[in-house]
Amino acid sequence: MRKFVIMGVQGSGKGTQAKLMADELDLVHISVGDVFRWNVQHHTKIGAQVRRIVASGHLVGDDLVESVVRTRLTEHDWNYGFIIDGFPRNARQAEFFLESYDIDGVIYLDLPDEEVVRRVLARRLCSRCGLDYNLIASRPQVEDTCDVCGGALVTRSDDNPEALAVRLSEYHAKTRPVMDIFQRKEHVAVVDARRSVLEVQAEIREHFDLPSPRALAARPAGRAAGPPADRMNGQPSDQPAAADRSAS
């Protein structure tokens, strides 16, 4: 059984990398963002809380995140292991997590703030079907119109420079102590997230002595490893691919 934590700022590609590992290694991908998005879309009480917090430009509170994760992990549907993103969020949660689960390693996707801003501000969302677009890599055929349902593409309310600056500041302040704990106790792989999706995935696998990504192993020798990280499946960051939007 393999258990991993994947960390990285918004826009670093956590969702894409976690999904690749989950699909090929029979892991369950536990995404705090997906859980919250599901609640928002289904208009639950948790969803209403999340919508208010996100619209103000802040991160969802640690207590709410911890409650959601604890509940999700008690389902024990991860027979072959899991990869979790969006948790832990603070030092106390990191200590609890390490005491409760035998973690195989921590993946930290390193992305400069200027690249985060570029990726995040290029995101668009279909107002009708919820499909994610990234104008850097996956522009719609008709400007501002969803290719699938014809709905209008809109900017998420929290995707603006002011709100993003707040989130980045909060993220860095909270992440440093968590990384300090993990680096003392666990194998941490720091990976440059500016590279292509498959290059990032290959380095993660190499760090933990895991099988090479199937897509990379199947490529002819000498061929480029893949598209830039914000081009694979048209996903700019931590958004799941279109077929996997059960949930954020």
The residues assigned a catalytic role are 14, 89, 123, 156, 167
Q: Is 113:10 a contact under the CB 8 Å cutoff?
A: no
Q: Is 148:234 a contact under the CB 8 Å cutoff?
A: no
Q: In a 10 Å sphere around its CB, with 0-12 CB exposed, 13-18 middle and 19+ buried, how is residue 27 labelled?
A: buried
| Amino acid at the residue 140 | P
- Pairing between β-strand 123-126 and β-strand 153-154 as defined by DSSP bridges: antiparallel
As a whole number of angstroms, the distance between CA 180 and CA 183 comes to 5
Helix (H) or strand (E) holding 134: strand 132-134
- Pairing between β-strand 81-85 and β-strand 2-8 as defined by DSSP bridges: parallel
Helices (H), 56-141: 62-73, 91-100, 113-120
DSSP-derived secondary structure for 144-170: TB-TTT-PBEE--TT-SHHHHHHHHHH
As a whole number of angstroms, the distance between CA 208 and CA 190 comes to 12
Cis status, amide bond into 88, omega within 30 of 0: yes
Q: Is 207:189 a contact under the CB 8 Å cutoff?
A: yes
